Chains A and B, each alone.
Chain A
Amino acid sequence: MDKPVNNRAWFLVLPVLVLVAFSAVIPLMTVVNYSVQDTFGNNQFFWNGLGWFQEVLESDRIHAALGRQLLFSAIILAIEIPLGIFIALNMPKRGFWASLVLVLMALPLLIPWNVVGTIWQVFGRVDIGLLGHTLAALGIDYNYVNDPFDAWATIIVMDVWHWTSLVALLCYAGLQSIPDAYYQAARIDQASRWGVFRFIELPKMQGVLLIAVLLRFMDSFMIYTEPFVVTGGGPGNATTFLSIDLVKMAIGQFDLGPAAAFSLIYFLVILLISWVFYTVMTAQKDTP
């Protein structure tokens, strides 16, 4: 059957194009525009080519922040993914307790980022915070303001508290979709508990796990509010992650050019790593 060709049909996609242009393309192009120019105020701009990109790529300060950021995301994924799977496996499958646990699990996800930061900032304080004070009373030298290790530990525990629920809930949904016959067949085949997990549960969770890993990677790689509220990037630069560094540069020092170049590189790094995760995790699916 021949499809009629009518070029006026392009007008039908015009509204979407306009919306996307205003919401994404034009703001992004503004950033691209800043990234290749320099300004000394008075709205006067000078062409700077790829200078800012070179400066960002060669900056030791930004390299260190990237290193911290990668380490942070790696730790977050290494804790939250297995922990989330473990929780999901142990959540009740149906009945009153299932509903209760679901509500409890969803609670941390409903709290705004800066409130989470404030909660933990207060919670961890040695003078008035429940956690900090208790640890001090037990004779443990804990102080997230002065000690880089304690600062890291606090931020990681906070993120685990805030976001493990998301992984657990996604995995729970994946587990709920497995028909009973699979578990029955495994019992008939005398599979061990590990066998059931390895050959039934894990393969069936693959799809939701991909989403969980991508979401948790992107979110942790872009983390800003919580460490900003708790540690402000300190002590020293110990918890200055990429986004904190970027905001200091763009709004603190108003270095629009380098900050724009930084933003674009930041964006590309997230895109690249997400693509790698996606490719690796879906590769197995397509092989016969």
Chain B
Amino acid sequence: MARITLDNLAHSYSPSPKAEADWALKPMSLTWRDGGAYALLGSSGCGKTTLLNIISGLLRPSRGRVLFGDRDVTDLPTAGRNIAQVFQFPVVYDTMTVRQNLAFPLKNRDLPAAQIAARVEAVARMIGMEDTLDRRARGLTADAKQKISLGRGMVRQDVNAILFDEPLTVIDPQMKWELRTQLKALHREFGHTMIYVTHDQTEALTFADEVVVMSEGRVVQAGTPQSLFDAPAHTFVGYFIGSPGMNLLDAEVQGTTARVAGTTIPLGRAYQAPRGRVQIGIRPDAVRPSAEGLPFRLIRAEDVGHHRILRGEVAGAPFNLVVPEDQPIPATFDRVALDPTRIGVFVDDWRIEPLERAA
């Protein structure tokens, strides 16, 4: 096991990249702590899988280095890295039985038979397939096959890291929850470094201690689920995390106030007059219906059980409110009040810090 460091890493699938768009991964430096549970979150095509394949050695990065501990493994083939990876779609060895499938990675490392048998039993119990161990893998359903793939990923105990590439896509929802819990338990028990790629924020936020959010080949923020929610570093993070996402409004910021569509609202802190495209962002649960504040036009209300979502517009931009169940909603209201302490200011999509931190 080792700490994994990505040092100035970049990758392009084209042999002679010219434009910015030719780079599947833009230059990044990132450290994955030994034994951490990470989620790599981003929409499809943002470079998550590319990054994963570079870590496991299936792909050689165009630039930069990959380090395991202090060892440079950039040119080391997959076999030399001792990493487990589970893919999005099930990969099983058709002609083998379930037992042989699970034992395959151990057999290739010439482990003693008794040890292999014990590990296979343990993993089979984990994925709930003890009864089908002697079935041939060919005839099984897609989710059974994916469980075998997961099992093969977890069967080696001495791996440097286990990488999951959207492994639960083909699994039905009930099983999904169960397997995710299993993975967490496994992580707690053995302390493997785990990197879990997903585009589903619920999956990412429940699995990981730390979430790395990617967008268009760039790491936009890495942090705990809470920090991503409270202080998104980029409008993409604000919008992508949370349901519904963060409300963003074009604004003019001056000192401790912001002007949105002719209305001045207070900010919790002072900001230097920023240049560029300035937006303020606020989570839907930090807004409440009010008699004064920003003019709001309600379009529809959704009751989702423990809270209600009010969807509408402020100054032509979509704007949502989340109102707790026990809090009454006025019969008519045309303004919303924003909690000043929870407003973030973004310039050209990136969050800027206030001048001095309020205590």
B207 to chain A, nearest CB (A): 20
The one of B58, B77, B95 in contact with A184, judged by C-beta atoms closer than 8 angstroms, is B58
Q: Which residue of B lies closest to A200 (CB)?
A: B93
Q: Mark B66-93, 1 if CB is under 8 A from A, else 0.
A: 0000000000011100011101110101
B119 to chain A, nearest CB (A): 14
Binds A, one of B104-112, B185-193, B273-281: B104-112
User: In the complex the two chains form, what is the Cα distance from A262 to B152 in whole Å?
Assistant: 57
The one of B78, B108, B138 in contact with A195, judged by C-beta atoms closer than 8 angstroms, is B108
- Residue A182, interface by CB 8 Å: yes
**Interface hits, A172-219 → B, CB 8 Å:** 179, 181-182, 184-185, 187-192, 195, 199-200, 203-204
Contact assessment for A188 and B108 in the assembled complex, using a CB-CB cutoff below 8 Å: no
**Interface hits, A256-288 → B, CB 8 Å:** 284-285, 287-288
- Residue B149, interface by CB 8 Å: yes
User: In the complex the two chains form, what is the Cα distance from A199 to B77 in whole Å?
Assistant: 21
Contact assessment for B89 and A179 in the assembled complex, using a CB-CB cutoff below 8 Å: yes
B87 contact set on A, CB distance < 8 A: 181, 184-185
Contact assessment for A190 and B139 in the assembled complex, using a CB-CB cutoff below 8 Å: no
A93 to chain B, nearest CB (A): 16
User: In the complex the two chains form, what is the Cα distance from A189 to B159 in whole Å?
Assistant: 11
- Residue B56, interface by CB 8 Å: yes
A189, A190, A191: residue with the most chain B Cβ atoms closer than 10 Å: A189
Q: Mark B286-313, 1 if CB is under 8 A from A, else 0.
A: 0000000000000000000000000000
A184 contact set on B, CB distance < 8 A: 53, 58, 78, 85, 87, 91
User: In the complex the two chains form, what is the Cα distance from A210 to B209 in whole Å?
Assistant: 51
Contact assessment for B96 and A199 in the assembled complex, using a CB-CB cutoff below 8 Å: yes
Contact assessment for A191 and B104 in the assembled complex, using a CB-CB cutoff below 8 Å: yes
B51 to chain A, nearest CB (A): 15
A195 contact set on B, CB distance < 8 A: 104, 108
B95 contact set on A, CB distance < 8 A: 199, 203, 284
A182 contact set on B, CB distance < 8 A: 91
The one of B56, B96, B136, B139 in contact with A188, judged by C-beta atoms closer than 8 angstroms, is B56
**Interface hits, B41-56 → A, CB 8 Å:** 53, 56
- Residue B94, interface by CB 8 Å: yes
Contact assessment for A185 and B149 in the assembled complex, using a CB-CB cutoff below 8 Å: yes
The one of B94, B105, B109 in contact with A203, judged by C-beta atoms closer than 8 angstroms, is B94
B89 contact set on A, CB distance < 8 A: 179, 181
A184-B85, A284-B95 in contact; A189/B58 too (CB < 8 A)?
A: no
User: In the complex the two chains form, what is the Cα distance from A181 to B79 in whole Å?
Assistant: 15
Task: Give the bracket for the number of chain B residues in contact with chain A.
Answer: 20 to 34
- Residue B125, interface by CB 8 Å: no
The one of B84, B91, B104, B152 in contact with A181, judged by C-beta atoms closer than 8 angstroms, is B91
Contact assessment for A190 and B79 in the assembled complex, using a CB-CB cutoff below 8 Å: yes
**Interface hits, B118-153 → A, CB 8 Å:** 135-136, 138-139, 149, 152-153
**Interface hits, B139-198 → A, CB 8 Å:** 139, 149, 152-153
Q: Which residue of B lies closest to A179 (CB)?
A: B89
Q: Which residue of A lies closest to B140 (CB)?
A: A288
Contact assessment for B108 and A192 in the assembled complex, using a CB-CB cutoff below 8 Å: yes
A200 contact set on B, CB distance < 8 A: 93
User: In the complex the two chains form, what is the Cα distance from A191 to B85 in whole Å?
Assistant: 14
User: In the complex the two chains form, what is the Cα distance from A287 to B109 in whole Å?
Assistant: 29
B171 to chain A, nearest CB (A): 16
A174 to chain B, nearest CB (A): 13
Contact assessment for B79 and A187 in the assembled complex, using a CB-CB cutoff below 8 Å: yes
Contact assessment for A187 and B91 in the assembled complex, using a CB-CB cutoff below 8 Å: no
Contact assessment for A287 and B58 in the assembled complex, using a CB-CB cutoff below 8 Å: no
B96 contact set on A, CB distance < 8 A: 199
User: In the complex the two chains form, what is the Cα distance from A249 to B78 in whole Å?
Assistant: 65
Contact assessment for B91 and A190 in the assembled complex, using a CB-CB cutoff below 8 Å: no
Interchain residue pairs A-B with the least CB separation, the first 10 = A185-B91, A187-B78, A189-B105, A190-B108, A199-B93, A203-B94, A190-B79, A181-B87, A188-B85, A203-B95
Residues of chain A touching chain B, judged by Cβ–Cβ distance below 8 Å, are 179, 181-182, 184-185, 187-192, 195, 199-200, 203-204, 284-285, 287-288
Can you show 24 pairs from A to B with CB atoms below 8 A apart?
A181-B87, A181-B91, A184-B53, A184-B78, A184-B87, A184-B91, A185-B149, A187-B57, A187-B77, A188-B56, A188-B58, A188-B78, A188-B84, A188-B105, A189-B105, A190-B79, A190-B105, A191-B108, A192-B108, A199-B93, A203-B93, A204-B94, A287-B136, A288-B139
Given A184-B53, A190-B78, 14 more A-B residue pairs with CB atoms under 8 Å apart are A181-B89, A184-B78, A184-B91, A185-B87, A185-B152, A187-B57, A187-B77, A188-B78, A189-B108, A190-B108, A190-B109, A200-B93, A284-B95, A288-B135
